[in-house]
Amino acid sequence: MTTLTLSRALNEGLRKALEANAKALIMGEDVGKLGGVFRVTDGLQKDFGEARVIDTPLAESGIIGTAIGLALRGYRPICEIQFDGFIFPAFDQIVSQLAKMRYRSRGAVKLPIVVRVPFGGGIGAVEHHSESPEALFAHTPGLRVISCGDPADAYTMIQQAASSDDPVLFFEPKRRYWDKAEVDTEGGLAAALPMDSARVLVEGSDLTLLCYGPMVRTCAEAAVAAASDGRSLEVIDLRSLAPLDVETIFASVRKTGRCVVVHEAVVTGGLGAEIAAQVTQECFYSLEAPVLRVGAYTTPYPPSRLEEHYLPDLDRILDAVDRSFGY
């Protein structure tokens, strides 16, 4: 076991992916000589060369369009979108072409492309650097949408994404890039949890907390805080947002009878709404209270001085837990 930050775990996972397949390559703005804004690709161009770690022009639509062409010729591109808010120039390429090519060709054409997206707030950034657009892509059939919550998952999931024959949107919680944890860098992927499976992070009996990405650590902290009040919270890291691991979700809610969904994204139309609908539909007779959602307010992302009031935090999660027990 090696102690790594989440960003370093991604770096090691990308290195493994490049070593495992000569057709894999990395492309994006400043991913080569600079090593990426968050240094996730640091040192990879030096070791693998400019033909496999490619500094692209500042043109997200061009990055994804070029990646699609490369994938059609047998390559496996791993694209970096520098910040979440920069993905929208490439939105048409992703939802109109990348998501639909395999279906359109009846499975004859595969586009094994990974699109890495640092997402979420909490770093005091300027406008367009703290978005949470994952629901837009989870709404689009044909895309796998996943998000890591800790270094161990970052290391394995990026390798699993790189080996997938489906296009994968890989959302990385940028506020957690510097979190450290032990990572098994010697073990292979055979024993790793599949990337489309949820993980029971904390076992509990009184209420289910569903979360992903940047909120995983916060919800784990909420479980510790709630335990001091005698409440046992089960925390589930969703990991896969499309498809959802509904079996794990339903099993937990049927056990606890209560459910709170937490994400940084705006509550209105967010992934929590879809989860709440499915849980209510399938677990109705097990629920002791309505499914509650905790997320950002329905406004554009505010200036950085206000983001601590805008984003969900420990107090807002515990308030939702209290409200659930108040029904």
Q: Which residues are catalytic?
A: 129
CA nearest neighbour of 207 among 189, 191, 230, 187: 230
CA nearest neighbour of 213 among 259, 159, 271, 269: 271
CA nearest neighbour of 16 among 184, 148, 199: 184
Phi first, then psi: what are they for 221, rounded to 5°?
Answer: -65, -35
Contact 165, 74 (CB under 8 A): no
- The first and second tokens of residue 194, run together, are 């599949």
Q: How far apart are the first and last CA of the chain?
A: 45
DSSP H helical ranges for the chain: 6-20, 44-48, 60-72, 91-92, 101-104, 134-138, 151-163, 215-227, 246-256, 271-282, 307-310, 314-325
Contact 168, 301 (CB under 8 A): no
Contact 30, 178 (CB under 8 A): no
